[in-house]
Amino acid sequence: MSAKVADLLWEMLANARVKRCYGIVGDALNPVIDGLRRNGKIEFIHVRHEEYGVFAAVAEAYLTGNPVAVCGTAGPGVTHLFNGLMDARKEGAPIIAIAGDVETSLIDTEALEELNPYKFFEAASLYTGRLVNPDQARSVINTAILTAILEKGPTVISIPADVASADVADRSAEITIPNPPLLRPSDADLNQLAKMIDDAKTIAIFGGDGCRDARDEVVELASRLKAPVGYSYRGKQWLEHDNPNAVGMTGLLGYGGAYGAIHEADLLLLLGTDFPFSEFLPGHSVKKVQIDKDPKHIGRRTQVDLGLVGDIKATVTALLGTVRDKTNDRFLRKQLADTNSFHDLLQHYVEKGPEIKPIRPEFLAATLNHLASDDAMFFADTGTACIWTARHITGSRNRRLFGSFTWASMANAAPNAFGAQLAYPGRQSIALTGDGGFTMLGLGDLLTQVERKTPVVQIILNNGSLDFVNIEQQEAGIIPFGVKFQNPDFAKVAEAMGAKGIRIEDPGDVRDGLAEALAHKDGPVVVDAVVDPFALSLPSHVPFHTAKGFTMSMAKQVWNGKMDDVIKTIERNVRLV
Ligand SMILES: Cc1ncc(C[n+]2csc(CCOP(=O)(O)OP(=O)(O)O)c2C)c(N)n1
């Protein structure tokens, strides 16, 4: 039997170590999916919403480092992929999207479901190829795969059904994937950096996801330089655990002494981070050196005195051979002391948690942290889940923490946890989701988890609101609007859908409820945790305009007859304000 373009596609993807394709079939995709069925090496994960499939794929691809395929059929199926592909681009996940396309005879006729893939995917995709002739196939597929893997992001292969089922002349499906090169700055640049370090009395480090493979080197550098280490949300999982110099995060989720450390040091080393909140980074009073393998990151969030292009591991390893150790640790001790006293503040609502109803999210997250295994994978929805996870989930060498940290889409956590569970069966895969997020995308595909008996733990922060936006609006000085909604009993809904449902309303039930959820291995579980909608978190550094905004909003709420809400906000956060 002669091979078709669809056969070549799946064979090349399988050779590139693609194990799964998430998506929904239909019209233009049918001959493509028929090829997947014939091939048999790649598992098809039939989801109920294409976007859910992409978020699952993003987690799988980010965590394993292997490429993952997703698919959607022409027009609306393809548009459902888009938000997830943006997430893949921002989070650096190698995804290859197989997009159904109209028949070649209909291209550019405004046919039913026709969409120009070049225009449509432009913002998300690192490479988009449209197969209009079988002779392009090997080349386009090769480029899409290599770009996704080596540039760590999404690519798109748009395939009209007639091309997918056409015979292909060049059937060679082998694909050679080069290892990424070792990238480090020149010796002259490294010497300049070493001199700046030697000349500085106090040094702070702030690291991001670029430290993923360089944890041990960065920790050693910090130890030798007596440097406190702060991190972005994406850097937390690599740099916080087992690091005696760890001082927490800065930004609106900030905790610990990170803000002070990076503002009070003589020299700040920014390592593998594109931390986007410039107002939380120091200005000219601190000398700054930024090292990143992506040259575009250098100096774009804050002006730097020296910018070096290189992998953090290779660069720091080279640096360790040239810098002189520091002996005075007074600066470090001060930042660690600040970190410890902030930690005590954070513990207030954890320790008092068993007595406070509605349940404090801090207590819920801290209890989860305590009960989860040492190699658990945690996923946080964009929303307040990010705050509680950042502050109360501690890392370890094998724990993972992931979310839509750079794209910041809602509804990522449940699909992320699903994809992670497929990639690492048997490991705890825990999604901390918003009630807004879960009803946006998580609910429909709970059925997918049920059907596959996938043991994903989704814990819903049931606060009856888009709480993160509720807080945002108050920080902006306005009256919360458009943020409240009604919820069903999610545990009952889950049970009706065939999952295990656990509802927790009482703080006394938090520990047992979470323990029961984590022990459930036969399929998905939904924990409906009714939490305090008035719980606030204060960052370790509160910008003036944020404090002013909050005060303004409180005053406006009083004038507008919302005194009850104001009293509850004050009462329930008295230890923070
Ligand atoms: C797709 C999408 N829509 C809207 C937003 C803006 N947004 C950010 S957080 C948030 C609220 C999330 O609410 P919920 O999921 O209920 O979580 P909570 O903050 O209440 O814990 C919204 C609307 C977004 N980031 N992504």
pLDDT tens digits for range 243-255? 999 999 998 889 9
What is the distance in A from the centroid of ligand 1 to the CA of 414?
A: 14
User: Among 410, 443, 465, 474, which is best to mutate for testing ligand 1, by the most ligand atoms less than 8 A from CB?
Assistant: 410
Question: What are the DSSP calls for 32-78, one per residue?
Answer: HHHHHHHH-SSEEEE-SSHHHHHHHHHHHHHHH-S-EEEEE-TTHHH
Which atom of ligand 1 sits closest to the CA of residue 409? 26
Distance from residue 410's CA to the centre of ligand 1 (Å): 5
| Amino acid in position 297 | H
Angstrom distance (rounded) from CA 360 to CA 222 = 35
User: What are phi and psi for residue 489, nearest 5 degrees?
Assistant: -80, 105
Closest ligand 1 atom to residue 433 Cα is: 15
Q: Choose which residue among 469, 472, 483, 537 to substitute to test ligand 1 binding: the one with the highest number of ligand atoms within 8 A of its C-beta.
A: 469
Long-range contacts of range 320-327, CB-CB < 8 Å, 24 or more positions apart?
320/217, 320/220, 320/221, 320/224, 322/190, 322/191, 322/194, 323/194, 323/197, 323/198, 323/221, 323/224, 323/225, 324/197, 324/198, 325/224, 325/225, 326/203, 326/224, 326/225, 326/226, 326/227, 327/226
Tell me the CA–centroid distance for residue 547 and ligand 1, in Å. 22
Cα 83 to ligand 1 centroid, rounded to whole Å: 14
pLDDT value, residue 554? 73
Indicate which atom in ligand 1 lies nearest the CA of residue 437. Answer: 15
Report the nearest atom of ligand 1 relative to the CA of 408: 25
Determine the atom of ligand 1 nearest the C-alpha atom of 438.
Answer: 15
Question: Tokens representing 351?
Answer: 């320790």
Bridge-partner residues for 308, per DSSP? 291
Pocket test for ligand 1, best of 364, 382, 536 (most atoms within 8 A of CB): 382
380 alpha carbon – ligand 1 mean position (Å): 12
* Residue ranges of the chain whose pLDDT lies below 70: 1, 559, 574-577
d(CA 389, ligand 1 centre) in Å: 15
Ligand 1 atom 25 nearest Cα: 409
Kindly give the distance from the C-alpha atom of residue 383 to the centroid of ligand 1, in angstroms, as a whole number: 5
- The atom of ligand 1 lying closest to the CA of 533 is 20
Instruction: Report angle CA 269, 272, 275 to the nearest 5 degrees.
Output: 85
**Ordered alpha helix ranges (H), 265-360:** 312-320, 330-351
Å from CA of 439 to ligand 1 middle: 11
Identify residue 465 by its one-letter amino acid code.
S
Q: What are the tens digits of pLDDT across the range 475-500?
A: 888 999 999 999 999 999 999 999 99
Ligand 1, atom 20, lies closest to the CA of: 467
CA of 469 to the centre of ligand 1 (A): 7
CA 65 to centroid of ligand 1, rounded, Å: 28
Q: Please give the distance, rounded to the nearest whole angstrom, from the Cα atom of residue 489 to the centre of ligand 1.
A: 20
According to the model, what pLDDT value does residue 575 have? Answer: 61
Which of 409, 466, 467, 486 gets mutated to test ligand 1 (max ligand atoms within 8 A of its CB)?
Answer: 466
What is d(CA 45, CA 20) in angstroms, rounded to the nearest whole number?
7
DSSP per position, 117-153: HHHHHTTT-SEEEE--SGGGHHHHHHHHHHHHHHTTS
- Residue bearing the CA closest to ligand 1, atom 11: 466
Q: Which atom of ligand 1 is nearest to the CA of 404?
A: 25
Best mutation site among 468, 470, 474, 475 for ligand 1, i.e. most ligand atoms within 8 A of its Cβ? 468
Tell which atom from ligand 1 comes closest to the C-alpha of 435.
16
Distance CA(400)–CA(33), nearest Å, equals 33
Q: Which pTM value belongs to this model?
A: 0.95
Distance 5 CA to ligand 1 centre (A): 41
User: 10 Å Cβ neighbour count for 511?
Assistant: 17
Ligand 1 neighbours (beta carbon < 6 A):
381-385, 408-410, 434-437, 461, 463, 465-469
Confidence (pLDDT) at 263: 97
Helix axes 361-371, 384-392, angle to 10 degrees: 50
Supply the residue whose CA is at minimum distance from atom 4 of ligand 1.
410
